[in-house]
Structure formats: structure tokens, C-alpha cells
Structure 1
Amino acid sequence: MKIILSLISLIFLISIPIASADIVGKVTYVVDGDTVDINQTRIRFSLVDTPERGEAGYKEAKDFVKSLCLGKSAYVNLDDEQPRKSFGRVIGVITCDNRNVNEMLIINNLAKIRTEYCSVSEFYDESWANPCQECKRK
């Protein structure tokens, strides 16, 4: 009986989304190192910029995100100060396997911070977005 109750409790806890998640779903496609599809919604990683197709580091960044996220559940904390970017993409911080993927890209030197967006991002003061802290907010 204790085992059954423990399993029910575990299933309940796993099913509760992270409190800050605005979007919860499965990553079905990795577009590149800083863009994924979740629930048929294209999501751009806030403040993070990875190399574009044809540039050095493109494949490494994309493969890294695939290894962390593809086919797995993800949580997105939308950037409330810039809800949409060009191309109609939603912008946010992505969490896969309980890891902040935006931060992991920076830590692993697969991306850089787009400082021109620091003044319009709610995540400007996160530790992984350190270059933003040197910029002034508008």
C-alpha cells in the first residue's frame, strides 16, 4: 500500500509544472541553437544568440540543444517585456531536464548574450546574462 501511495504522490508531483512556466510541452523540433518548437509554437531563447547556419559553431549549438531537449518535456518562462520577436516567435527562457538551456548555452560557450536586448528583457539581471548587467536599462 505504501508503494502505491508513493507512486501516486510521485506521479502527482511530476505532473505539476514549474511555477514560472508559461508554456509546458514536448520539444518536437530544434530549429537551431536558440530556437525550438514546443506545442506547435516556435520559441526563441531570450537574450541568447547562437551561430547561424553556415557559421562556425552552428552544428555544435544545435546538437547540444537537441541532446538536452528534443523529444523531452520543456517549460518556458516567457519574457514578459518582449513577448514576440521578428518572425512571430515567442521569446523566453527554456528549461529541459530541469536545466536552464539559455544558461547552459552560455556556460558551454555555444552562445553569446545579445546585449542590445538587455534593456527590453526581464531576464537582464539573471546571473547567466552577466553582460546585460553592465548595460543600462531604459
Structure 2
Amino acid sequence: MRNNSEEWTFGVTELEKGELWNGYVKNVVDGDTVDVSFNICGIQRVRLVGINTPEIGEGGYEEAKEFVNKTCWGEAIKLDVDDRRQYDPHYRILAVVYVKGTNLNEKLVNEGYAKAMYIPPSEFDCREWKVDYTHSQSSMLSPSPTQTPGFELLFAMIGVLAAMCLVKRGR
């Protein structure tokens, strides 16, 4: 359902901030998306906030999906929904998932199945989960790869070399 401000809602105007939601994982879509059953709200799609796993057809996709499947399929979980942005553009709930008290989002990063990816606004600072993270200025989760700081350095070096060549030609 949509409210007047075109924001996606979860049957209410806004989820309770600071509350943990209880549910069961009914389906693993991929390494960073699961379908969760809530007793009164049916099944909702949840995007694990602060991380990004490989997409279908990319190396590591099957491994990440299988890890999530083995870790939480059918398990009782707790969701800590992002208070700053509760839904992504695909109407998925953005949350940290806890399985038996363990932060699944962080575990995926630490085990090498996902990269930490901070997309503001977010109450969760995934940069604390691992030093190697990706920062996106975009407020939308995108299926395209996010540029990393290494690429910025490479492009800066190419720019400097190109400028040096132009200066040399001008002599």
C-alpha cells in the first residue's frame, strides 16, 4: 500500500522505530534478500541493509545464497528495521537480520560472501563491520556495480597522465 506521500508502507504509516520485529524466514531469494513471515502481516520481502552480495550469474552468487539458506531458512529471526529509511525502491523492508542473536548482515561480510555497502540515509554503519566497504551516494539500491575508491584513484591517474600529454604536445 502507498500513503499520500508516495512512501511504501507496511500496513501502517511507519514501522515502530527502535522495535525488533519477530518472524520466520520462508524463502531465500538471494544472498541479501529473504522473504519473512510475520504472524499478522503475512510474508514480506526483506533486503539486508548495508551489504551487497553477487547478483545471479555473477561469481559467488550461489555460495552467498546457499550460506543464507543454511543459516536462516525456516529459522526464527529478529529484524532491526532501518529507522532512517525503512524501504528501498523495490518496496523491500531494509533491516539487519538477527539469527540466534547473530547479526547475519555482518556475518555475510566477515565470511566473505558480501561486501559492506553504506547507502545513506541509514542508521546502520556497516563500515564498522569490515574495513573494506563500498560507499554509494545514491539513495537507491542499484543492480549495477558501485564504483570503489580504487577506481577513483585509477581515473585520477589517467586524468593526470592525459593532462601531461597535452602539456607536452603544446611545447
Do both share a fold (TM > 0.5)? yes
Task: Tell me how far 1:31 sits from its aligned partner.
Answer: 0.5
Structure with more of its chain in helix, by fraction: 1
Q: What amino acid is aligned across from residue 128 of structure 1 in structure 2?
A: W
Task: Tell me how far 1:101 sits from its aligned partner.
Answer: 0.4
Instruction: State the SS of the aligned residue for 1:60.
Output: helix
Instruction: State the SS of the aligned residue for 1:65.
Output: helix
Distance 1:125 1:51, change over 3 A: closer
Instruction: State the SS of the aligned residue for 2:29.
Output: strand
Task: Tell me how far 1:98 sits from its aligned partner.
Answer: 1.8
Distance 1:57 1:125, change over 3 A: closer
Other-structure match for 1:34: 32
Distance 1:31 1:21, change over 3 A: farther
**What are the residue-to-residue correspondences of 1:1-138 with 2, within 5 Å?**
21-39=19-37, 40-115=43-118, 117=119, 119-124=120-125, 127-128=128-129, 130=131
Task: List runs of 5+ in structure 1 lacking aligned partners.
Answer: 1-19
* TM value normalised by structure 1: 0.75
Q: CA RMSD in A?
A: 2.2
Q: Distance in 2 between matches of 1:86 and 1:109?
A: 26
Task: Tell me how far 1:86 sits from its aligned partner.
Answer: 1.6
Instruction: State the SS of the aligned residue for 1:81.
Output: coil
Higher RCO (C-alpha 8 Å, min separation 6): 1
Does structure 2 conserve the Cα–Cα contact (< 8 Å) formed by 1:46 and 1:92? yes
Aligned residues: 114
Consecutive aligned runs of 4 or more in structure 1 exceeding 4 Å deviation: 129-132
Task: Tell me how far 1:97 sits from its aligned partner.
Answer: 2.0
Does structure 2 conserve the Cα–Cα contact (< 8 Å) formed by 1:41 and 1:90? yes
Instruction: State the SS of the aligned residue for 1:77.
Output: strand
Q: What percentage of residue pairs aligned between the two structures are identical?
A: 35
